[in-house]
Amino acid sequence: MPQKTTTTFATAFEREVHEGLTAFPKYLSSKYFYDEVGDKLFQDIMAMPEYYLTDCEFNILDANKTAIVDLFASDGEPFSLFELGAGDGKKTKVLLRHLVERNIRFDYRPIDISQNALDQLETALHKELPEVDINPLQGTYFDTLRDIGESNGRRKVILFLGSNIGNLLHPQAVEFLKNMRKVINKNDLIFMGFDQKKNPQTILDAYNDKTGITEAFNKNILARINKEMGGDFNLDNFLHWEVYDPQTGTAKSYLVSKVEQVAYIDRLDLEVPFKRWETIHTEISQKYDDAVVQWLAGKAGLEIATSFSDEEESYKDYVFTK
């Protein structure tokens, strides 16, 4: 039988699904959790009492807004405030409002992969903070970092909140930080959230809520394959499973096949066989401490200028310079 040696893919999503589901052990990338349904599920996650990260960072920004804005506006010149993965901008509005109240000159450039999220944010800001000069940019972090590098001559402050960096393995995180370093100048700042190591139970609960929102979020990647690639995954045949290793600080999400089954993805002409209890690894959510952040920054050629945290040191925002 002649083997099919080359397959052409219409999108990176198709290519990565093919790659991950023909590998052993199977994996898929959490960046594909997000479509309109996934965005909404993530908003629901952020509102869950178990998902402490959002409130924690909101409180850090609120409690330290004066000091943070002092840092952003340190030379008194107008600056550009970029935000990667802006989402609904709920936390950022604390800083934007304070910048407006202090009559500080800046423009806000939220960046998100979702045009829908950007449109909603722009409409909300026009209403709530009409003084803010907003220039949204649609694209992936990687595409838009280039745009940041080529932007106007203003000083740059880049926000990356929500511990989004935690969804990258350490080598990818270093690569990402190196790319950020390339687009900033000496006086520019990177302001970035890193969820910290803490009681392992607290972390497990945040990623394993009883209401099943995180389960639906994790399974949304299969729902997307069904919708966008003509897949026939039966979502009820999979368990959402979360583990946390307190030694490495890595939380990992899996989908576990409850039965022996074969799924078929029409667009890829691919049969995906599963043994009973076979896994698909879908996400990592890395937790950090100062030593690890210091190590990542050092590898990327960045320095930690300062950091802000809650009293329990449950979550930290670090300020990096080059």
For ligand AVI, which stretch binds (CB under 6 A), given 15-23, 111-119, 160-168, 222-230? 160-168
CB of 61 to ligand AVI, least distance (A): 16
CB of 285 to ligand AVI, least distance (A): 3
Residue 283 is a binding residue for ligand AVI (CB under 6 A): yes
Decide whether 157 or 251 has the Cβ nearer to ligand AVI: 251
Decide whether 13 or 160 has the Cβ nearer to ligand AVI: 160
Decide whether 214 or 314 has the Cβ nearer to ligand AVI: 214
| Torsion angle defined by CA atoms of residues 321, 164, 133 and 123, in that order, rounded to the nearest 10 degrees | 180
What is d(CA 20, CA 14) in angstroms, rounded to the nearest whole number? 10
Single out the residue of 45, 148, 268, 293 in contact with ligand AVI (rule: CB under 6 A). Answer: 45
Omega prior to 25 cis, within 30 of 0: yes
Residue 136 is a binding residue for ligand AVI (CB under 6 A): no
Residue 314 is a binding residue for ligand AVI (CB under 6 A): no
CB of 46 to ligand AVI, least distance (A): 8
CB of 166 to ligand AVI, least distance (A): 5
Phi/psi of residue 134, nearest 5 degrees: -110, 130
Tell me, by CB under 6 A, how many residues bind ligand AVI: 12
Residue 282 is a binding residue for ligand AVI (CB under 6 A): no
What is d(CA 302, CA 64) in angstroms, rounded to the nearest whole number? 23
What is d(CA 304, CA 311) in angstroms, rounded to the nearest whole number? 20
Amino acid at 239: L
Single out the residue of 54, 214, 309, 314 in contact with ligand AVI (rule: CB under 6 A). Answer: 214
Q: Confirm if 95 and 69 have CB atoms less than 8 A apart.
A: yes
Q: Confirm if 319 and 191 have CB atoms less than 8 A apart.
A: yes
Q: What is the DSSP letter of 288?
A: B
CB of 194 to ligand AVI, least distance (A): 10
Q: x/- string (CB under 6 A) for ligand AVI, residues 163-192?
A: xx-xx-------------------------
CB of 27 to ligand AVI, least distance (A): 15
- Comparing C-alpha atoms, which of 210, 213, 203 is closest to residue 315? 203
What is d(CA 169, CA 186) in angstroms, rounded to the nearest whole number? 27
Decide whether 188 or 242 has the Cβ nearer to ligand AVI: 242
What is d(CA 203, CA 162) in angstroms, rounded to the nearest whole number? 15
Residue 162 is a binding residue for ligand AVI (CB under 6 A): yes
Q: Can you say whether the dihedral through the CA atoms of 206, 209, 213, 216 is positive or negative? A: positive
Strands 261-265 and 270-274: antiparallel
Site residues, ligand AVI (CB under 6 A): 45, 53, 162-164, 166-167, 207, 214, 217, 283, 285
